[in-house]
């Protein structure tokens, strides 16, 4: 998955009740300004720090050197210092009678980092250095085999996607996981330091702090996430059952038992998070509705720039503005040949609110085209709320930010792709519908448990329920519990398999992606209603509908200025996240899977 990065700092917190009680004020302590003036001061400081941290982080990601590591670490340290000192100052207002907006502002400040530092200069410096070093190790990571050949993700990921050789896949899978054990000691120290910082802010641990950013208590949010998973897990289990059966046919029951977990390296993706690359193995009706968008992109000589302009045209068709000229001048759209970069796709807001960019190593394939649409969802969110104070320059909650672009990708229907010349002809039949839905489910449905478990692991790590000597065992227990997959070879605590996924060393909270895969279908349902679409949800494209664009833009403009249920209501008319739209969307496939798997032993 992708991440968002912006110089205004990732302000994910939206729960605005003041946590804890303040001690009696010290009459000798210097007085703070009134709360409103303090918030204005914080916003001004955030704007200035945003330029520094945004530029340093951008250069670090697009020029991985020792020098840029030093610059990024210093910028991170400066922000962590500002954050810990500002939160300490904000304690002066605890216990006072404050209006709801000021209480919200102070809580947003408290939750204004995913890695709170202890209020100690040496520890803060150490946390900043670790936080820069781990993703740097990931970005520069390479597996070198015993033949002297070395390969990074740019080589290993295509093998995972394209090979159907069990042993070749196994080597690529295990090879990439040789880069992460060196992060293990750093990660253990990171957990210790960030937990200390979270406790200083009044939270039990970093996981509790992350879960407090959703306009409800940490425990209430955990129950909310579980309820959403319970809604959609039966659909995942049916998909898993069908895919496992086809993989057993392909590789043999000795390698893929029909009643157990699936070996993690056979699902077309380095992390088994999305399974679209094995569509050829599990295609329900071979050759039906075969939409070869990759071939069309390559035959029509699409470039990184023209693919990005293609995505921009969808957003402008809804009445949204064109991207600023600086976007085209400053984005990194292809991998440079002369240096190490982090190719992991991300969207950025850097030197000022209008300085928006994406960082991506674009190739002319459908997967990358879809990713660009996703990234521009972040970009248009930035542009929509750019006039808000820095504390409000974020999504209604972090799942919103990830869902915006993905909701737009749901409108990349076969009919839409035909309208822009990437598909020649369409086949209208029940078989074509099932094939199209299967291809999408391999990404959208297969991802749901992965999106849920990443932070389940971290929450347990932060809480001490998974101690350092069980990091890897705890990781695989959750992957089997939620995804029904298992490592293809024996793993031990000498390994650190969580570190082979960018968001762990990068410290990017991941529940946002799980929530986004729920919300994007809610958003699409509402957009289609606004567009006046009358038909099955999976056939709807809102391309060209300014009627849909108007409430969409209104939701984006709110940023983090109000509780997320208020913002959700602007577009959907509802105040609750709900998985029913995803079930409606995949109704044809659900019925087909239930019939197809009725005689199989499902579960693991």
pLDDT, tens digit, for every residue of 363-397? 999 889 999 999 999 999 999 999 999 999 999 99
How does pLDDT run across 224-256, given as a tens digit for each residue?
999 999 999 999 999 999 999 999 999 999 999
Place of tokens 């946390």: 127
Q: To 5 degrees, how large is the angle CA 442–CA 239–CA 424?
A: 40
Task: Give residue 2's pLDDT.
Answer: 52
Q: Phi and psi dihedrals of 87, rounded to 5?
A: -65, -40
Give dist(CA 536, CA 441) in Å, integer.
16
Tokens encoding 224: 């909310």
Give dist(CA 593, CA 268) in Å, integer.
21
Place of tokens 């917190």: 13
CB of 46 closer than 8 Å to CB of 347 = no
Task: Give residue 448's pLDDT.
Answer: 98
Place of tokens 């040789």: 178
Q: Which of 251, 242, 240 is nearest to 163 (CA)?
A: 251
CB of 80 closer than 8 Å to CB of 127 = yes
Residue 375 annotated among the catalytic residues of the structure? yes
Task: Give residue 424's pLDDT.
Answer: 84
Query: Of 129, 157, 363, 375, which one is the catalytic site residue?
Result: 375
Q: Which parts of the chain register pLDDT below 70?
A: 1-31
CB of 438 closer than 8 Å to CB of 589 = yes
How does pLDDT run across 75-92, given as a tens digit for each residue?
888 888 888 888 888 888
Q: Phi and psi dihedrals of 585, rounded to 5?
A: -60, -45
CB of 348 closer than 8 Å to CB of 381 = no
Give dist(CA 279, CA 172) in Å, integer.
20
Task: Give residue 237's pLDDT.
Answer: 97
Tokens encoding 602: 């499902």
Tokens encoding 513: 């992606």
Query: Of 240, 265, 503, 538, which one is the catalytic site residue?
Result: 503
Domain boundaries, the chain: 7-147+190-222
Give dist(CA 386, CA 349) in Å, integer.
10
Tokens encoding 567: 């913002």
Task: Give residue 258's pLDDT.
Answer: 94
CB of 359 closer than 8 Å to CB of 329 = no
């Amino acid at each position: 998955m992708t991440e968002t990065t912006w110089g205004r700092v990732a302000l994910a917190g939206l729960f605005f009740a003041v946590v804890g009680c303040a001690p009696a004020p010290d009459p000798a302590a210097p007085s703070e300004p009134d709360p409103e003036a303090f918030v204005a001061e914080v916003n001004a400081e955030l704007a200035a720090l945003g330029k520094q941290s945004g530029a340093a982080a951008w250069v670090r990601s697009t020029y991985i050197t020792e020098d840029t590591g030093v610059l990024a670490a210093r910028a991170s340290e400066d922000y962590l210092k500002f954050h810990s000192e500002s939160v300490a100052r904000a304690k002066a207002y605890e216990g006072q009678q404050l209006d709801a907006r000021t209480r919200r502002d102070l809580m947003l400040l408290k939750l204004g980092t995913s890695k709170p530092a202890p209020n100690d200069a040496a520890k803060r410096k150490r946390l900043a250095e670790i936080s820069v070093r781990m993703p740097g190790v990931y970005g520069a990571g390479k597996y070198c085999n015993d033949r002297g050949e070395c390969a990074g993700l740019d080589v290993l990921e295509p093998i995972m996607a394209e090979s159907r050789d069990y042993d070749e896949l196994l080597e690529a899978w295990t090879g990439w996981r040789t880069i992460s054990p060196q992060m293990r000691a750093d990660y253990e120290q990171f957990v210790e330091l960030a937990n200390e910082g979270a406790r200083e802010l009044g939270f039990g641990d970093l996981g509790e702090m992350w879960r407090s950013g959703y306009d409800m208590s940490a425990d209430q949010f955990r129950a909310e996430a579980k309820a959403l998973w319970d809604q959609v897990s039966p659909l995942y289990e049916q998909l898993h059952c069908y895919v496992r059966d086809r993989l057993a046919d392909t590789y043999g029951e000795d390698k893929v038992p029909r009643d157990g977990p699936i070996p993690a390296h056979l699902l077309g993706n380095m992390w088994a998070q999305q399974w679209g690359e094995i569509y050829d193995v599990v295609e329900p009706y071979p050759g039906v509705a075969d939409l070869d968008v990759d071939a069309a992109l390559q035959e029509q000589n699409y470039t990184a720039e023209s693919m990005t302009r293609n995505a921009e045209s969808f957003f402008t068709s809804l009445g949204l503005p064109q991207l600023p000229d600086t976007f085209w001048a400053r984005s990194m759209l292809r991998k440079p040949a002369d240096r190490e970069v982090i190719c992991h796709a991300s969207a950025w807001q850097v030197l000022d609110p209008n300085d928006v960019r994406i960082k991506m190593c674009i190739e002319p394939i459908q997967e990358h085209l879809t990713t660009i649409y996703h990234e521009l969802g972040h970009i248009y969110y930035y542009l929509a709320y750019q006039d808000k104070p820095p504390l409000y320059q974020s999504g209604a909650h972090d799942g919103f930010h990830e869902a915006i672009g993905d909701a737009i990708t749901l409108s990349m229907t076969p009919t839409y792709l035909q309208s822009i010349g990437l598909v020649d002809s369409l086949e209208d039949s029940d078989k074509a519908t099932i094939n199209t839905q299967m291809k999408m489910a391999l990404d959208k449905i297969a991802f749901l448990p992965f999106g849920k478990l990443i932070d389940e692991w971290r929450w347990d790590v932060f809480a001490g329920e998974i101690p350092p000597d069980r990091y890897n065992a705890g990781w695989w227990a959750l992957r089997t519990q939620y995804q029904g997959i298992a490592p293809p070879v024996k793993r031990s605590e000498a390994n650190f398999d969580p570190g082979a996924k960018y968001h762990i060393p990068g410290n990017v909270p991941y529940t946002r992606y799980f929530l986004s895969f729920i919300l994007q279908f809610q958003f699409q349902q509402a957009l289609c209603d606004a567009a006046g679409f009358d038909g099955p949800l999976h056939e709807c494209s809102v391309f060209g509908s300014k009627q849909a664009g108007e409430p969409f833009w209104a939701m984006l403009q709110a940023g983090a200025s109000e509780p997320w249920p208020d913002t959700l209501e602007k577009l959907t008319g509802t105040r609750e996240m709900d998985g029913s739209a995803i079930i409606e969307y995949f109704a044809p496939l659900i019925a087909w899977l239930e019939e197809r798997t009725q005689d199989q032993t499902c579960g693991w």
